[in-house]
């Protein structure tokens, strides 16, 4: 009797959370689902900023400071590789089981990280954590695409950017708090950085389990295991060399070996995707869709420039201004406020006008202006208040870019491929961020010895006492100074020229980042402006399956895609039309 009652209660909850006969969700249902998704996304977004703040303390405690990069690399590899896998598999088997799996494996990985006794163990457990993190962001965006029509989607997706912005501020604060305590409740303080994810993850798991009940239609398919293995062969060596190349040397034997293995993996991946056609992990025919191709290329460029800017500002605040990680996080609030404002305002405007193409273009223009201005304005003694307007401008540009690009792709592809399309754009953005971070850090550390040496030489030439300290520093090795910036405090007369040299290097990288971002403007000029559908992904799939597409002219393009995705065999030759336009059945 008890089991019958429990089953009845589960059925009642599922019925209350399910859409109506037309596949539509009420606003209350959408908000309820959204809350569960936001908690899970907060986990992934917070974890990266928290760990980045405390990694030095963790590495010192585990006596593996020289191995700390591997903890970051392991997380990056598994989260990047798993992102497209989640998208494809969720299209085939449904979003709910994979989203619950992503939350569960992330929580397990977090608990294990808190138990690590060495940096090697921490790297292995961070890899487990990354497997879960790969699905938390991309699947959340795909689920919103399932339940909210494109015309209204940006309004809800803006809340995700609020989660991203909040975690950017709270991450350094929380990381600094835990890392700054020797012991909390009898356990090492930094371990709580990972264990805090366990109760948050349990809440997210319970919320998603209770409210996320999406209808899904299983269909015949093949699992693209060769494509998955080839993708791993392609990405792992390239991600490793992106993280370690600055230490190894970009032309070293290990780096060249990684390039060669990655090239072989890429060829194998393309061959596998061609062989598996529609069942492929990333169907190659999707690149025939102009919206998808432009968004993919633009995401790589934007990811590189975006992470370059986000990486350099905290570096400048901590090293030049002497801010603690916690204080640097608080000083970044103007940037976060700009991101949230840009995301929310663009979402409201898109919902009202149905126009999305203009926002990536305006956003890139704002980002370029902000990065160029910071390159020209930022000096060693520049006040944080002077930087605040440029941070807001950069944040607005980022906010204008995140959601409209995802929306353009979701609106342009068949509703049956919502997951793989969304995760692919997220994947390309992550790859761009990895490339950008590696490139900008390489440029920064290549320029630092020259710029710092020039400033110190100028001071030493005019001040004999500073000259004596400069000789001591030269004997110790300037490279050691760039490896541990706190050593400059041993030479008080050289602190200011060191900060000036570091700022000069940062200014150069800001300028290069602006040039990279500017390329994105010309890429997004080719983004088609298509009519936004007034149907959610679930409604579109149901309508296509039932063959009940209406003749609303404002939705004709979307309906054509739905009908084509449901009824037309994908192996036929594409119809004649403009490149990138949706196929007409």
Q: Cα 534 vs. chain centroid, distance in angstroms? A: 28
pLDDT reported for residue 5: 54
pLDDT reported for residue 547: 64
pLDDT reported for residue 484: 55
Tell me the backbone φ, ψ of residue 332, rounded to 5 degrees.
-90, 5
Map residue 187 onto helix, strand or coil.
strand
Element (H, E) at 529: none
Whole-model pTM: value is: 0.78
How many Å apart are CA 171 and CA 177, to the nearest integer?
10
pLDDT reported for residue 194: 87
Are the C-beta atoms of 576 and 287 separated by less than 8 Å? no
Q: For the chain, what's the residue count? A: 585
Domain ranges of the chain: 25-215, 225-280, 289-437+510-536+543-548+556-565, 450-505
Q: For the stretch 352-383, what's the b/e string if a residue is b when 16 or more beta carbons lie within 10 angstroms of its beta carbon? A: eebebbbbbbbbbbbbbebbbbbbeebebeee
Q: Where are the alpha helices (DSSP H) in 114-224?
A: 119-147, 150-179, 192-195, 197-211
Tell me the backbone φ, ψ of residue 96, rounded to 5 degrees.
-55, -50
Are the C-beta atoms of 341 and 395 separated by less than 8 Å? yes
How many Å apart are CA 236 and CA 230, to the nearest integer?
10
Q: Which two tokens stand for residue 5?
A: 């009652």
DSSP 8-state secondary structure symbol assigned to residue 221: -
Whether 25-215 shares its CATH topology with 289-437+510-536+543-548+556-565 is answered: yes
Tens-binned pLDDT, residue by residue, of the chain (585 aa): 555 555 555 554 554 555 655 556 777 777 878 887 888 888 777 777 777 767 767 777 777 655 666 777 788 888 888 888 888 888 888 888 999 999 999 999 999 988 888 888 888 898 899 899 888 888 888 888 888 888 777 777 667 777 777 777 777 777 777 777 777 777 777 888 888 888 888 888 888 888 777 776 666 667 778 888 888 888 888 888 877 777 787 888 888 998 999 999 999 988 988 888 877 888 888 888 899 999 989 988 888 877 666 777 877 887 788 777 777 777 888 888 888 888 888 888 888 888 889 999 999 999 999 999 988 888 878 888 888 899 999 989 888 887 788 888 888 888 788 888 888 888 888 888 878 877 887 788 778 878 877 787 777 777 777 667 667 666 666 555 555 556 666 666 667 777 888 888 888 888 888 998 999 899 999 998 888 877 766 767 776 666 644 444 344 444 444 333 333 333 333 333 333 443 333
pLDDT reported for residue 485: 59
DSSP 8-state secondary structure symbol assigned to residue 488: G
Nearest CA-CA partner of 354 in 215, 499, 526, 533? 533
Q: Cα 129 vs. chain centroid, distance in angstroms? A: 15
How many Å apart are CA 62 and CA 64, to the nearest integer?
6
pLDDT reported for residue 486: 61
pLDDT reported for residue 214: 74
pLDDT reported for residue 426: 84
Map residue 17 onto helix, strand or coil.
helix
How many Å apart are CA 565 and CA 583, to the nearest integer?
9
Rg (CA), the chain: 25
Q: Which two tokens stand for residue 24?
A: 């539509």
SS (H, E, C) 23-47: CCCCHHHHHHHHHHHHHHHHHHHHH
Q: Can you spell out the DSSP letters for 299-328? A: HHHHHHHHHHHHHHHHHHHHHTS---HHHH
SS (H, E, C) 74-121: HHHHHHHHHHHHHHHHHHHHCHHHHHHHHHHHHHHHHHHHCCCCCHHH
Q: Which two tokens stand for residue 273?
A: 């995707």
- What is the domain class of 289-437+510-536+543-548+556-565 according to CATH? mainly alpha
How many Å apart are CA 49 and CA 439, to the nearest integer?
20
Map residue 184 onto helix, strand or coil.
strand
**CB-based burial label for 17 (10 Å; 0-12, 13-18, 19+):** middle
The residues near 444 (Cβ < 8 Å, ≥ 6 apart) are: 312, 315, 505, 506, 509
The residues near 100 (Cβ < 8 Å, ≥ 6 apart) are: 205, 208, 209
CATH superfamily of 25-215: MFS general substrate transporter like domains (1.20.1250.20)
Q: Can you spell out the DSSP letters for 529-570? A: -PPPPSS-HHHHHHHHHHT-----GGGHHHHHHHHHHHHS-T
Q: Give residue for tokens 């930094």.
A: 190
């Amino acid at each position: 009797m008890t089991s019958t009652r429990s089953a009845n209660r589960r059925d009642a909850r599922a019925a209350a959370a399910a859409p109506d006969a037309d596949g539509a969700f009420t606003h209350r249902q959408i908000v309820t689902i959204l809350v569960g998704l936001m908690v899970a996304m907060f986990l992934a977004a917070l974890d990266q900023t928290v760990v980045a703040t405390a990694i030095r303390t963790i590495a010192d405690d585990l006596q593996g400071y020289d191995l700390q990069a591997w903890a970051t690399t392991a997380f990056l590899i598994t989260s990047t590789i798993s992102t497209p896998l989640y998208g494809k598999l969720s299209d085939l088997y449904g979003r709910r089981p994979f989203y619950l799996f992503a939350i569960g494996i992330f929580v397990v990985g977090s608990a294990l990280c808190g138990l690590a006794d060495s940096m090697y163990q921490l790297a292995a457990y961070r890899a487990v954590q990354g497997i879960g993190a790969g699905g938390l962001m991309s699947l959340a965006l795909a689920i919103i695409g399932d339940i909210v029509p494109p015309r209204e989607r940006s309004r809800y997706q803006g809340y995700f950017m609020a989660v991203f912005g909040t975690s950017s501020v709270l991450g350094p604060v929380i990381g600094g708090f835990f890392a700054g305590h020797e012991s909390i409740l009898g356990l090492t303080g930094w371990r709580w950085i990972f264990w805090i994810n366990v109760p948050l993850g349990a809440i997210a798991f319970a919320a998603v389990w209770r409210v996320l009940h999406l209808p899904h239609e299983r269909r015949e398919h093949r699992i693209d295991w060769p494509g998955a293995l080839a993708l791993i062969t392609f990405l792992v060596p390239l991600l490793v060399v992106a993280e370690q190349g600055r230490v190894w040397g970009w032309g070293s034997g290990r780096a060249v070996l990684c390039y060669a293995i990655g090239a072989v993996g890429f060829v194998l991946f393309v061959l596998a995707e061609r062989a598996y056609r529609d069942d492929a992990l990333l169907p190659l025919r999707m690149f025939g869709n102009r919206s998808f191709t432009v968004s993919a290329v633009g995401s790589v460029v934007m990811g590189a420039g975006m992470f370059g800017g986000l990486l350099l500002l905290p570096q400048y605040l901590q090293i030049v201004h002497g801010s603690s990680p916690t204080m640097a996080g608080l000083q970044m609030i103007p940037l976060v406020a700009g991101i949230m404002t840009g995301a929310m305002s663009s979402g409201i405007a898109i919902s009202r006008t149905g126009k999305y193409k203009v926002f990536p273009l305006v956003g890139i223009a704002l980002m370029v202006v902000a990065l160029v201005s910071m390159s020209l304005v930022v000096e060693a003694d520049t006040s944080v208040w002077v930087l605040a307007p440029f941070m807001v401008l950069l944040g607005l540009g980022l906010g204008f870019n995140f959601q409209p690009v995802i929306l353009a792709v979701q609106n342009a592809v068949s509703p049956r491929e919502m997951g793989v399309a969304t995760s692919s754009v997220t994947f390309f953005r992550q790859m761009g961020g990895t490339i950008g971070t590696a490139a900008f850090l390489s440029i920064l550390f290549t320029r630092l010895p020259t710029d710092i040496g020039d400033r110190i030489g100028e001071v030493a030439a005019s001040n004999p006492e500073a000259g004596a300290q400069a000789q001591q520093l030269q004997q110790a090795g300037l490279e050691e100074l760039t490896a541990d910036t706190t050593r400059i405090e041993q030479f008080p007369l050289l602190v200011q020229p060191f900060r000036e040299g570091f700022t000069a290097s940062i200014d150069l990288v800001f300028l290069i980042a602006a040039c990279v971002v500017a390329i994105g403007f010309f890429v997004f000029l080719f983004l088609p402006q298509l009519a936004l559908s007034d149907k959610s992904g679930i409604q579109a799939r149901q309508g296509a399956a039932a063959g009940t597409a209406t003749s609303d002219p404002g939705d004709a393009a979307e309906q054509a895609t739905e009908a084509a995705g449901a009824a037309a065999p994908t192996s036929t030759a594409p119809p004649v039309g403009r490149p990138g336009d949706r196929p007409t059945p």
